[in-house]
């Protein structure tokens, strides 16, 4: 499965840091994970992604999450 790098994404709940996967049967990109809380604007989420490097850990449900360095 092809999975994107972390990027700013948007849902009805707001902007967030996440990843997408490519579905070859549907020939398109779809949400794969949400790895942050929601931000009010795209600019806030992008700024956060650029300034705070992620460290990766595995959650109990085996889904990859991000723990942001402080």
Q: What is the pLDDT of residues 26-50, one digit of tens each?
A: 999 999 999 888 999 999 999 888 8
Cα separation, 17 vs 42, whole angstroms: 10
* Confidence check: pLDDT of 22 > 80: yes
The rounded percent of the chain whose pLDDT value lies above 70 is 74
pTM value is: 0.73
- How far lies 24's CA from each of 7, 27, 34, 63, 65, in Å? 20, 5, 21, 22, 25
Q: Is the dihedral of CA 4, 29, 36, 45 positive or negative?
A: positive
Domain limits, the chain: 2-68
């Amino acid at each position: 499965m092809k999975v994107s790098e972390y990027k700013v994404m948007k849902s009805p709940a707001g902007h967030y840091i996440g990843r997408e996967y490519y579905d070859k049967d549907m020939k398109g990109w779809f949400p794969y994970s949400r790895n942050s809380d929601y931000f009010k604007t795209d600019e806030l989420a992008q700024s956060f992604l650029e300034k705070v490097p992620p460290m990766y850990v595995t959650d109990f449900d085996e889904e990859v999450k991000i723990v942001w360095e402080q």
